[in-house]
Amino acid sequence: MADAAFSHAPQPDGATGVLVLADGTVIWGKGFGATGNAVGEVCFNTSMTGYQEVLTDPSYAAQIVTFTFPHIGNVGINEEDIESRVDGAVGCVVREDITLASNFRAEGEFIDWMKSLGKIGLAGVDTRALTRRIRLNGAPNAVIAHDPEGRFDIPTLLQRARDWPGLEGMDLARMVSREKQEGWEGGVWTLGKGYARSPRAPRPHVVAMDFGAKDNIFRNLVKAGASVTVVPAQTPLAAILEMKPDGVFLSNGPGDPAATGEYAVPVIEGLLERDVPLFGICLGHQMLALAAGAKTAKMHQGHRGANHPVKRLEDGVVEITSMNHGFAVDNASLPEGVEETHISLFDGSNCGIAIKGKKAFGVQYHPEASPGPQDSFYLFQKFIGSLG
């Protein structure tokens, strides 16, 4: 059902952008960034900072991000805040018009950067109403479009939104994973110093499976004391074992974990059988759960933002976390031998597991949190500390 804040009214004067939902709702605004149109799932993110990190996070592949914070783009962009060089979100929806950058770290303008990456933006939208719509009705499929001349074929855009199959059953990890194995170099960023350099001394060797990883995860593994080799999502078990890893990391990524799990879960099962220490984040956490016998399911609206409270069940400590996921591990499906370690205080959904008798655990949220809270860095230390 269409929200009262939106209508099917004719195109207003000056409208150069549009969001067409699969239910027929048409939302007009001012387009910016790339021209053309793109299809995806509309979600919302409640973070007050980090729009550049969000839009370059591969986990947002095939999604149109609605930012609830009204002032997006006003601090510009810079090379240091890019999380990945592969495709992330296809576009974004914002409340206020994009202003010129005003920040000492800015190296360019947000609009120009969006255009260079082929991402479409839509400004002037009542993002509160759109967010409420998603909360009530779920994340819709839609097409976002931008034409400086304001020429749109709405019936065609609507049909494209309706024809798009959605994220369920979609394996996007293979589309955003790196294609070649590489040794990771560089640690976390600090103001005025940039990114740290990886120490040369011998360290525990972690093989990181890239299902659409944020670079800051690898930086935090280095900070925690690891030497990191990153491999493509579809790397066979034999190839991983040949590297003689002290532990294997399972990264975040986009799409349906059950679809990606068709090739990844057998690898994870093989690692579990050999007692290789494992640590999974987000999609990696979900596939670890699948390998242990649990199930995953599509969420109504998902969790996306930098202020999500998560309870650690062993001691009751509450961590403020950064999240980005539209699928979750089904708590009720956790088999015997899999312990639930963390839950969301928003809705009680699963946010962490540990496999009994194994050095294997995962969390649904993002402990690397760039930008965002730092409460959960201990998880990297826990993983590296278990490699002995």
Catalytic residue among 303, 308, 342, 366: 366
Annotated active-site residue 300? The verdict is no
CB atoms within 10 A of CB 24: 12
366 is catalytic: yes
CA atoms within 13 Å, Cβ hemisphere of 43: 29
Active-site residue, from 282, 303, 325, 342: 282
168 is catalytic: no
The DSSP result for 39-64, as a single string, is: EEEEEEE--SS-HHHHHT-GGGTTEE
Instruction: Compute the residue count for the chain.
Output: 388
What is the sign of the dihedral through the CA atoms of 323, 170, 125 and 131?
negative
Torsion angle in degrees (nearest 10) through CA of 7, 8, 12, 14? 90
Query: What order do you get walking across the sheet with 296-312 strand by strand?
Result: 182-183, 227-232, 205-210, 247-250, 278-281, 360-363, 350-355, 338-344, 296-312, 318-329
Pairing of strands 350-355, 247-250: unpaired
- Apex 214 CA angle, 251 and 186, nearest 5: 105
Residues 6+ apart with CB under 8 A from 91: 33, 38, 40, 64, 65, 119, 120, 121, 122, 144
Catalytic residue among 41, 53, 319, 368: 368
Q: What tokens were used for 22?
A: 């699969």
* CA distance linking residue 239 with residue 178, whole number of Å: 16
How far is residue 39's CA from residue 41's CA, in Å, rounded to a whole number? 7
**Nearest Cα to Cα of residue 363 among 217, 234, 240:** 217
Write out the catalytic residue numbers: 282, 366, 368
